[in-house]
Chain A
Amino acid sequence: MIKVKINGQEQSWDGDPDLPLLWFLRDEAGLTGTKYGCGQALCGACTVIVDKEAVRACITSVKDVSGREVTTIEGLHPNGDHPVQKAWRQVNVPQCGFCQAGQIMQAAALLMDNPKPSHDQIREAMSGNICRCGCYQRIENAVHLASTGV
């Protein structure tokens, strides 16, 4: 039996310990905010925060996060008002929106680590997150806005 804390709540799993966290979150725990885009750590759609670090849930197994704390987009802020989320809305970032949970989690992790990232640091930190709709200019502006106070 694996125990893991997700968005502050204790969850347990007694199925395949190698099950990717992504599918545990989406299909078993019903937290569908975290998305599948590639399954190979290539696109960032599945990004969640484990302890204080952004990780790709598609290549992280449930047993890898045993006893650790996982934050998904649903748990980032109780009212959805994390500075990154607010900045995202202010800048009207999303088009289809499918990549955005992953983008927001990646940006939130970046700002925890580096509260005032430069242009190049934003671009580097966000480069693992694909947006097929091409919202990159706004993503960059929104991360910058979140870092300077929304």
Chain B
Amino acid sequence: MNFIDNPRKLRGFEKHVRVEKISRRSILKGLGVTGGFVLAAPVMSRQALAYETGAGKMPHGVVVDPRVFVSVAPDGIVTIIGHRSEMGTGVRTSLPLIVAEEMEADWSRVKVQQAHGDEVKFGNQDTDGSRSTRHYLIPMRQIGAAARTMLEQAAAKRWGVPATEVKAVNHEVVHSASGRKLGFGELAADAAKESVPAIEGLKLKDPKDFRYLTKGQVGIVDLHDITTGKARYGADVRLPGMKYAVIARPPVTGGTLVSFDPDAALKVPGVEKVMKVQGWPWPSKFQPLGGVAVIARNTGAAIKGRDALKLVWDDGANAKYDSVAYRKELEEASRKPGLVVRKEGDADAALKGADKVIVGEYYIPHLAHVSMEPPVAVADVKGDKAEIWAPVQSPGGTRDDVAKTLGIPEGNVTVNVTLLGGGFGRKSKCDFALEAALLSKELGAPVKVQWTREDDIHNGFLHTVSVERIEAGLDKSGKVIAWRHRSVAPSIASTFAAGTVHQAPFEIGMGLADMPFEIANISCENPEAAAHTRIGWFRSVSNIPRAFAVQSMVGEIAQATGRDQKDMLLELIGSPRIVKPAVKDLWNYGEPQDSYPIDTARLRKVVELVAEKGEWGRKVPKGHGLGIAVHRSFVSYIATIVEVAVDDKGKLTVPRVDTAIDCGTYVNPERIASQIEGAAIMGLSLAKYGEISFKDGKVQQKNFDDFQVVRIDESPVVTNVYIVPPGPDTPPSGVGEPGVPPFAPALINAIFAATGKRIRSLPIGKQLEA
């Protein structure tokens, strides 16, 4: 059904993406310009039609300076800096496109140049948290408008006319009264001498004049290079005299090397050296685990050499980590009261007095990112200077950490950001770059450290493992009057600080304490859980287990009361309102609640939109079922309907997925669709197969054979994406991550509809075969 009737019409997204005309008001209308021309400060002050974001609170804040981001060459080529990391979201295209739009540059004459890691110069570069468009839409527009103004001023001076009489149009400035024109290239030298205009006076384009923004007809800048093998990822960097290294790391987190025998490794053809790599005691943030490196003339030889090493490890304090036993611990903890992180009314009393209590205990194991490009980095350290080439999501942080690890000034470290072959949060941690830096320093030569897939799975920063226990109390009429959610999971904070047993505020704010349902008695609790491996951010983070539990519970309540899932969901969301949970310092993804409130009208709208477009309630064949789920994360609202088919042998297929997203004001609907399509695949992967388990402290999986991900033959036949047009003053919100959380619960609810089987433990594995 996703075949193309007229291939000539196909542009990929047109067929499956529609921006729904719910409102006729033009998108982006009247985003005002306010605020100061700022360095490292919030971009916008709250004035008419403007909004404030959390951008200013990020390390090094925002830099709005056209001289930093834009240059125009005499031949007219406009170079725009992309300062965020490209890992597949399209950000290297969309942020420069915003600048080009606003400065009236012709996109075909724009070159994008990747910024190196320098947050003082470029502002915050941490490409995570689905923040890029959210934090940079307005700053990039301001940068483009400032550049345009400088070009216009230069032309006006040249002609001796008031600047108000000239206008930049498609790569030239025109004076329509006299019919004179000057190209951007001809004005470049003069424009560079103009002073940078104050942000307050800048005039932003009227959105009705947009050529690129919101249109989605511009392909990503790397499209041609990607399809011809020229795109350069971290793994593709080659330097003269470069050595190739792979590292044997401790198999248990916190383990240390006792001894090693390099002899057999050194006999492997191509192997040049075997050396120890410095490790840091666990937990130590992103510092290397240490181990033994095999240095060779190519990666193949290094891998073969490593296989031949004889290694003795001391497994350390986590040698007994066992996922079966740990799950029992989490389950037991979830059955007892824990730290209360949100309390409204009296959930204990209401549960006691309830006519019916429905209990769901949900389990979601550790997950590995398995970005298609495993971690890899090249370093060239000479004396007290270091240059790094790496696919990192945090070039600024990497620079910082390399400087600290080598004991050299930050100014002596250059971090070149390559394309990332996937990131998903793994490449927010720069341990692999630090390893390369340490080895290069010792070798006195440039070196590439390549992680194998096995390394990636064995020594990563895993998604947490959690038990989510929800008790819902219903009165006689079937109305939910009490809600107790206990979330037990080791925290990401455990990777930074020993002894961490509670979730950090940013984890509590991901689908636990910010739960939007209109229920009188709510208790959200976080019993203790200690970590036994490195825990890290994984695309959409704690929203995965929380949305799975909360939205599965909605399905369970509907099931117990004989209601339609969607009706039940809307009833629980309740009236259109702004939810203000009784939570001290609600995280809210780092955004002010004024600009980014928890708005149930928007939550309802995506449910209603997906129900309408996804034909909720349609008749499906025998063995098929429909499931629905909605979740707000990264301040976006997303609802998904999944249709499943389960045959009599328990084989699961997904004929159709429909997703509605409200991400506020947006830039590139085509890339939004691709993110949502991808999120459905990642959601299906984690639901069907996703499990990293431990025994004797060691990860039991090793590669794509036992840590499986969804392949094309089992992927949804079609994923339709519907984008809610924003109101005139709706701030942009996240896209990269929020598609993932609602998928698994929608799938599980659909499986129940198809089979009557309620799955509470992920992955599904063989549960449908029984």
Contacts and interface: CB of A to CB of B under 8 A. Distances in A.
B214 to A, nearest CB: 16
Nearest to B657: A137
B244 A97 contact: no
Contacts of A122: 712
A8 interface: no
Contacts of A90: 10-12
Given A96-B86, A136-B681, 15 more contacts: A23-B299, A33-B228, A35-B233, A37-B372, A40-B703, A90-B10, A96-B373, A100-B227, A123-B713, A129-B711, A130-B372, A135-B678, A137-B16, A141-B2, A144-B3
A90 B7 CA distance: 10
Contact of A132 (B10, B220, B371): B371
Contacts of A76: 228
11 contacts: A15-B269, A32-B236, A33-B229, A35-B372, A35-B373, A36-B235, A36-B299, A37-B374, A38-B704, A96-B419, A136-B710
A95 interface: yes
A68 to B, nearest CB: 19
Nearest to A88: B227
A114 interface: no
B715 interface: yes
Question: Mostly helix, strand, loop or mixed at chain B's interface?
Answer: loop
Interface size class of B (residues with CB under 8 A): 35 or more
Contacts of A126: 712-713
Nearest to B89: A95
A73 B229 contact: yes
B337 interface: no
Interface centre among A24, A127, A134, A148 (most CB of B within 10 A): A134
B677 A138 contact: yes
Nearest to A102: B372
A119 interface: yes
A28 interface: yes
A93 B421 CA distance: 14
Interface string A86-111: 00111111111111110010000000
Given A27-B300, A92-B674, A144-B3, A33 B715 contact: no
A141 B12 CA distance: 8
A131 B270 CA distance: 32
A132 B229 contact: no
Contacts of A31: 229
A96 to B, nearest CB: 3
A49 interface: no
Contact of A95 (B232, B300, B678, B705): B678
B224 interface: yes
B657 to A, nearest CB: 10
A43 B300 CA distance: 17
Interface string B448-475: 0010110000000000000000000000
A50 interface: no
A137 B719 contact: yes
B300 A23 contact: yes
Interface string A1-43: 0000000000000011001101110111011111111111011
Contact of A101 (B16, B223, B229, B719): B229
A64 interface: no
A34 B11 CA distance: 26
Nearest to B1: A119
Nearest to A94: B226
A28 B11 contact: no
Contacts of B16: 137
B372 A99 contact: yes
B228 A74 contact: yes
A99 B226 CA distance: 9
A135 B268 CA distance: 39
A19 B298 contact: yes
Contacts of B421: 35, 96-99
Contacts of B227: 80, 85, 88-89, 94, 100, 104
B228 A127 contact: no
A74 B222 CA distance: 15
10 tightest A-B CB contacts, nearest first? A33-B229, A134-B681, A98-B421, A23-B300, A96-B88, A73-B229, A134-B678, A95-B88, A97-B226, A27-B298
B450 A36 contact: yes
B540 to A, nearest CB: 14
Nearest to A23: B300
A45 interface: yes
A65 interface: no
Given A133-B678, A134-B678, A40 B705 contact: yes
Interface of B: 2-4, 7, 10-13, 16, 86-90, 219-220, 222-224, 226-233, 235-236, 238, 244, 268-270, 297-301, 303-304, 370-374, 419-424, 450, 452-453, 670, 674-675, 677-682, 703-705, 709-713, 715-716, 718-719
Nearest to B715: A136
B303 A89 contact: no
Interface centre among A33, A132, A139, A148 (most CB of B within 10 A): A132
Given A91-B10, A132-B370, A141-B12, A96 B224 contact: no
B677 A134 contact: yes
B535 to A, nearest CB: 20
Interface string A62-91: 000000000011101000100001001111
Interface centre among B16, B229, B236 (most CB of A within 10 A): B229
Given A132-B709, A134-B680, A96 B4 contact: no
Nearest to A127: B713
Given A73-B228, A95-B674, A144-B3, A133 B711 contact: no
Contacts of A139: 712
A92 B419 CA distance: 17
Contacts of A129: 711-712
B13 A36 contact: no
Contact of B233 (A42, A93, A98): A98
A124 B713 contact: yes
Contacts of B680: 134
